[in-house]
Amino acid sequence: MKLLKYSTLLLILGLSISCKDREEPTPQVDPGSNAAVNQWIQDVMDEVYYWLDDIGTPIAEESDPEDYFESLLFRPTDRFSVIYPDFQELINSLNGIELEAGYEFILYRESAESDNVIAQISYVKRNSPAKDSGLRRGDIIQTINGQQMNVDNFQTILSEISSTHTINFLRFNEESDQYESQGDLELTPVQLAENPNFLDSIYTIENQKIGYVVYHFFAPGSGNNSTSYDQEMDAIFAEFKAEGIDHLIVDFRYNGGGFVSSAVNLASLIAPGVGEGSVFSKTKYNSFLSQFDDFQDVQTEFRTKEQNLGNTLSGNRVYFLTSGRTASASELIINGLRPYMDVFLIGDVTTGKNVGSIPFEDDENPENSYGILPIVTQSFNSDDESDYTEGFTPNITVTENQERARQFGDVNELLLRTAIEQITGTPSSGRIEKLDRIDLGSTLDHKTRAGTMIESKSLHKN
């Protein structure tokens, strides 16, 4: 029998578990072959896959590994398990490290009467070519490399932004009240480490002190066991606490998930009266792993944080800004905080992902570069609640495609404005132009971290 050791960030530190007995030894194969990769995939899935009792019938062992992995998945229930041709690229991406020019956008049909597709910048990343060139949220891309996108060709054209490319874009002029051409802009992708802590502000409006933080994904740092991003979030909340904020708004609209360790860190800064001994979440494994004591009654506790806001928030309430791209670790926080405080959602229905993954690599076969990210766990809060596969429905429904995109932190930006109105009880007096746009997708939808809740960074075999 073999032994596997799972090294996790939170729950499972150096646990050894016995694999299933095999009636016959696995025959030796060429380590560079598809068969070698697929045997490894099967070994992992037979032990850790959450829907083990419903695992699919494998196709031929010589098949392409991506097809082989797909054949094992319990579709359509399993919407999230994925395979990647390069494990290291997978880990880099989960930590926000990618080859890119540094801007994200949402695609819209130009109008109901037109097949043309436009791309509106969602946000621009610090220390990126896009930031250095002056590109900013709300700018509208009309063409890429001189090509007008439409409903038939936009996916092909978008593949060109992974290398040096030219965009022609528009920017809204507040004085003329219209979009104006900004000409062509050439952008060259670089290996960029994105910081998920995008923006934090404190506003005093009608004697209400409001803390606002925009957080785009969950990662403790840029890799190599760094916790710099978590430490930066701690510093943000230390300032919120020192300034005595009355209300907290957390912007998760583009947050598709990430590492559970950072979710626990953030939740521990928000929830009142929690620390070691207070249950943040409970974790359930498959029928095989659940035979072992170490995988039974698994609970994740809050951390004791001196930067915790405690009981300072008015009405014991926290506001989250959400969208259909709010997923996984973001939803884990929403669910985990609900037993402790009033969680008020503003935006759109969230994705609905209550299951988590562990990234696996084959560290016994250097010729196998693949990484897999199968669903391994289901998460519950301290009240044993996990029923949000259809997403969390907001208390106030608004979608940002209803209006022209304003800068993050602008108190007239739609989602932030709605939260401030809810806090103060005073409607905004600004004139707002309503739009009727259909969301066709986003660069964020194709991020490795989209829809992830990562329970562990690595697997070590002994």
| Sign of the torsion angle spanned by Cα atoms 113, 104, 251, 373 | positive
Give the whole-angstrom CA distance, residue 18 versus residue 40.
16
pTM reported for the whole predicted model: 0.91
Structural domains of the chain, count: 2
- The residue among 192, 215, 242 that closes a domain is 192
Q: Is the pLDDT of residue 20 over 60?
A: no
What is the pLDDT at residue 114? 86
The least confident of 203-212, 221-230, 346-355 is: 221-230
- Angle (CA) 103-250-203 rounded to 5° is 100
226 shares a domain with 181: no
395 shares a domain with 272: yes
The CATH number given to whatever domain includes residue 259 is 3.90.226.10
Give the whole-angstrom CA distance, residue 66 versus residue 76.
17
User: 116-150, pLDDT tens digit by residue?
Assistant: 999 999 999 999 999 999 999 999 999 999 999 99
What is the pLDDT at residue 137? 98
Task: Show the tokens assigned to 359.
Answer: 């990234």
Calculate mean pLDDT across residues 302-329. 96
Range of the domain at 397: 194-432+446-461
What is the pLDDT at residue 27? 66
178 shares a domain with 115: yes
Assess if residue 143 is contained within a domain: yes
Name the percent of the chain lying above pLDDT 90.
Answer: 81
Give the whole-angstrom CA distance, residue 196 versus residue 230.
10
**Mean of the per-residue pLDDT values of the chain:** 91
Please, are residues 59 and 71 in contact by the beta-carbon 8 Å criterion? yes
302 shares a domain with 365: yes
382 shares a domain with 244: yes
What is the pLDDT at residue 22? 47
Q: How would DSSP label each residue in 273-309?
A: T--TTSEEEEEE--TTGGGSGGGSSEEEEPP--TT--
What is the pLDDT at residue 445? 87
119 shares a domain with 148: yes
Q: Is the pLDDT of residue 359 over 60?
A: yes
266 shares a domain with 311: yes
User: 58-76, pLDDT tens digit by residue?
Assistant: 999 999 999 999 999 999 9
Q: Is the pLDDT of residue 196 over 90?
A: yes
Cα dihedral 79/339/285/49 (nearest 10): 10
For 462, other C-beta atoms within 10 Å of its C-beta total 8
The CATH number given to whatever domain includes residue 129 is 2.30.42.10
Q: Is the pLDDT of residue 3 over 60?
A: no
Q: Is the pLDDT of residue 192 over 90?
A: yes
What is the pLDDT at residue 430? 60
Q: Is the pLDDT of residue 417 over 60?
A: yes
Task: Show the tokens assigned to 19.
Answer: 């694999």
Give the whole-angstrom CA distance, residue 184 versus residue 167.
6
What is the pLDDT at residue 65? 98
Burial 317-347 (b: 16+ CB within 10 A, else e): ebbbbbbbbbbbbbbbbbbbbbbbbebbbbb
209 shares a domain with 145: no
